Amino acid sequence: MVLKKILYIVRDGKISGSQQVVLNICNFLKSDNNFKADLIVGGEKIDNDFFREFSSVVENIYHVPSLKRSIGKHDFKALISIMRIINQTKPDLIHTHSTKPGIIGRLAGYFSGYKTIHTVHGISYHKAQSVIKRLVYYLIEIIPTLIGTKLTLVNKYYGKYYRFLPRKKLSVIYNGVDTEDKSYKRKCEPDGQIKLGFVGRLEHQKNPLFLVDIANELRKNGIDFHLEIYGEGNLQAALEEKLKESNLSDLVRLNGWETDKDIIFTSFDILLAPSNFEAFGLIFVEAASYGVPSIASSVEGIPEVISNGINGELVSTFSSKAYVDGILKIFNGYSTYQKSLFIMLSRFSLNKMNTKYIRLYEEVLNER
């Protein structure tokens, strides 16, 4: 039997949110008797961990360095490069992830005569941008959205931006993770010290500098705490400087990028995520599988993942005091929050996500 080939396109060669989703789907396809996968990856370089993980689940990896987050002349080079790969590999379906691959990849697929699916993991026209930028970015995304075959969203919140699409062209597929219970790998109850953790890129979206404000508020209130930060990014130097100025080096540790989930989620009791914008947040479900509740900003798709006051806390304002209040609520009622994490795990399983994508692939491939 001839296997159907899916060509995936991602922006960076580092395993984070959207790349992890693609890796999970490809791993599932490997055990499926109907599909196989190729991968196009952008960015300056491909991390060793990324290459090792994907090499085991896809047939070919194509690196297109001109596929970058920034806008420029390199976008035309990326378009031509991707079209060449498409015409060379002749996939049955193209599945793009994240904004830039979604724009360039869908255009390349359309010009080459191939069907495309795009998964929206985040939007470039979020509220943190100026009105003019939001309008320009929105208009840029409309054309590839109209010419693409299907569009999937990782939350219901984004649906309001795509009301112009026919319902049959739009679907919501929540991200999923391996929801096997791993809480046995860490203590079920925290000790007297509040152990906090942050996991993510040290960039504006994740709002890492605000972590220092929260840490200062905790110290000001005489609360015994420690904060572990896992991640790298363009705000790392600014974060290091702000921590130094606040004399928090003994209470906050920067660990860099870490891929071992056991190391990450056994080092703290509460996940802290004060994001400025967030489409979904795989990290909350991953933390839940280790028995770790979260406190996060109530933005975009996060309220669809965290049930406020049940399996975590949502904060509607960027106030360090509000975050400290939420942290104390979780800490003082820890076992109650922990017992409710199964609600999150049952909704966002890896099997549910993979099954829905397979059904979508079959639907698109069977359309005439």
Please write the tens of the pLDDT for every residue from 347-359: 898 999 999 999 9
Give the residue with greater pLDDT, 16 vs 48. Answer: 48
Q: Cα–chain-centroid distance for residue 265? A: 17
Assess whether pLDDT exceeds 80 at residue 203.
yes
Assess whether pLDDT exceeds 80 at residue 126.
no
Q: Other CB atoms closer than 10 Å to residue 170's CB: what's the count?
A: 18
Check residue 307 and give its pLDDT: 93
Yes or no: say if 147 and 165 are a contact pair by the CB < 8 Å rule: no
In three-state secondary structure terms, 238 is helix
Yes or no: say if 278 and 299 are a contact pair by the CB < 8 Å rule: yes
Share of the chain above pLDDT 70, in %: 96
Assess whether pLDDT exceeds 90 at residue 88.
yes
Q: Which of 78-82, 186-190, 348-352 has the lowest mean pLDDT?
A: 186-190
From CA 63, how far away is CA 45, in angstroms rounded? 8
Q: What is the mean pLDDT of residues 217-224?
A: 96
Pick from 125-139, 187-201, 342-356 the range whose average pLDDT is largest.
Answer: 342-356
Yes or no: say if 112 and 87 are a contact pair by the CB < 8 Å rule: yes
Assess whether pLDDT exceeds 70 at residue 308.
yes
Quick one: CATH architecture of 194-348? 3-Layer(aba) Sandwich (3.40)
Q: What is the CATH number of domain 4-176+349-366?
A: 3.40.50.2000
Is this structure's pTM higher than 0.75? yes
Q: Is 245 exposed, middle or buried (0-12, 13-18, 19+ CB in 10 A)?
A: exposed
Yes or no: say if 266 and 186 are a contact pair by the CB < 8 Å rule: yes
Q: What is the mean pLDDT of residues 314-336?
A: 95
For the chain, give the longest Cα–Cα distance.
Answer: 67
Assess whether pLDDT exceeds 80 at residue 149.
yes
Check residue 135 and give its pLDDT: 84
From CA 256, how far away is CA 109, in angstroms rounded? 37
Check residue 182 and give its pLDDT: 74
| 190 band by pLDDT with thresholds 50, 70 and 90 | confident
Residue count (the chain): 368
Check residue 124 and give its pLDDT: 75
Check residue 364 and give its pLDDT: 96
DSSP type of residue 90 = -
Assess whether pLDDT exceeds 90 at residue 181.
no
Closest to 125 in 3D by CA, of 155, 154, 158: 158
Taking CB atoms within 8 Å and a gap of at least 24, the contacts of 64-68 are 64/40, 66/42, 67/9, 67/11, 67/40, 67/41, 67/42, 67/43, 67/100, 67/101, 67/104, 68/11, 68/42, 68/43, 68/44, 68/100
Give the residue with greater pLDDT, 368 vs 116. Answer: 116
Check residue 127 and give its pLDDT: 66
DSSP type of residue 190 = -
Check residue 320 and give its pLDDT: 96
Closest to 148 in 3D by CA, of 108, 175, 121: 108
Residue span(s) of the chain under CATH 3.40.50.2000 come to 4-176+349-366, 194-348
| 187 band by pLDDT with thresholds 50, 70 and 90 | low
| 367 band by pLDDT with thresholds 50, 70 and 90 | confident
Q: What is the mean pLDDT of residues 62-70?
A: 95
Beta-carbon contacts of 8 under 8 Å, excluding residues fewer than 6 positions away, are 22, 25, 26, 37, 38, 39, 40, 58, 94, 95, 96, 97
Closest to 278 in 3D by CA, of 307, 259, 298: 298
| Element of type H or E holding 357 | helix 350-366
Q: Which of 106-110, 182-186, 252-256, 286-290 has the lowest mean pLDDT?
A: 182-186
Give the residue with greater pLDDT, 136 vs 199. Answer: 199
Assess whether pLDDT exceeds 80 at residue 292.
yes
Yes or no: say if 246 and 171 are a contact pair by the CB < 8 Å rule: no
Mean pLDDT of the chain: 92
Give the pair of three-digit tokens for residue 279. 């489409």
Yes or no: say if 124 and 99 are a contact pair by the CB < 8 Å rule: yes
In three-state secondary structure terms, 140 is helix
Check residue 188 and give its pLDDT: 59
